[in-house]
């Protein structure tokens, strides 16, 4: 289980990394059922990335895989090509979504959006590291 206190700690670590790289982000934490626990839109973060961050968190939990890896598998000719159209288009195949694990079990997801794929991924990894 991920508590609100856990989500706040994850978000704080992600915000710190985003500030270090100078890129405001949207940061979302979802529980084991993919439901949103907490979301932060940093000052000047793109409004359009709010939904993307939430869907990245959901996707990371729904498939228990980093969205960066899912993106690689979903390219034309790949084994998951077209997956982004499943689940009513809720699946995000951009870097920045990571499953949150406790004791080897996936118990939630973290989604970050607002920068390049590399920036989103770095901020997500920093947040997940605080969990």
The string of DSSP codes covering 25-72 is -EEEEE-TTS-EEEEEE-TT--TTHHHHHHHHHHHHHHHTS-HHHHHH
Query: Would you kindly state where each structural domain of the chain is located, as residue ranges?
Result: 4-129
Give tens-digit pLDDT for 77-116.
988 999 999 999 999 999 999 999 999 999 999 999 999 9
Residue 30: name the closest of 50, 66, 4, 68 by CA.
Answer: 4
Task: Give the Cα separation of 75 and 45 in Å (integer).
Answer: 28
SS3 9: helix
Residue whose pair of structure tokens reads 């000047």 in the numeric block: 44
pLDDT at residue number 106: 97
Give tens-digit pLDDT for 73-84.
999 998 899 999
Give tens-digit pLDDT for 8-58.
999 999 999 999 999 999 999 999 999 999 999 999 999 999 999 999 999
Kindly state the DSSP code that residue 85 receives in the 8-state scheme.
Answer: G
pLDDT at residue number 91: 96
Q: What's the topology of domain 4-129?
A: Beta-Lactamase (3.30.450)
| Burial per residue of 12-39, b for 16 or more beta-carbon CB atoms within 10 angstroms, e otherwise | ebbbebbeeeebbbbbbbbbeebebbbb
């Amino acid at each position: 289980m991920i508590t609100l206190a856990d989500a706040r700690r994850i978000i704080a670590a992600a915000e710190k990394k985003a500030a270090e790289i100078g890129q405001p982000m949207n940061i979302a934490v979802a529980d084991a059922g993919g439901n949103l626990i907490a979301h932060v839109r940093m000052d000047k973060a793109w409004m359009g990335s709010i939904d993307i961050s939430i869907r990245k968190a959901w996707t990371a939990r729904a498939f228990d895989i980093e969205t960066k890896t899912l993106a690689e598998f979903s390219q034309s000719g790949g084994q998951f090509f077209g997956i982004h159209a499943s689940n009513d288009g809720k699946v995000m195949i951009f870097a920045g979504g990571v499953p949150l694990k406790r004791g080897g079990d996936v118990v939630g997801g973290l989604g970050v959006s607002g920068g390049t794929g590399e920036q989103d991924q770095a901020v997500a990894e920093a947040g997940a590291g605080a969990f």
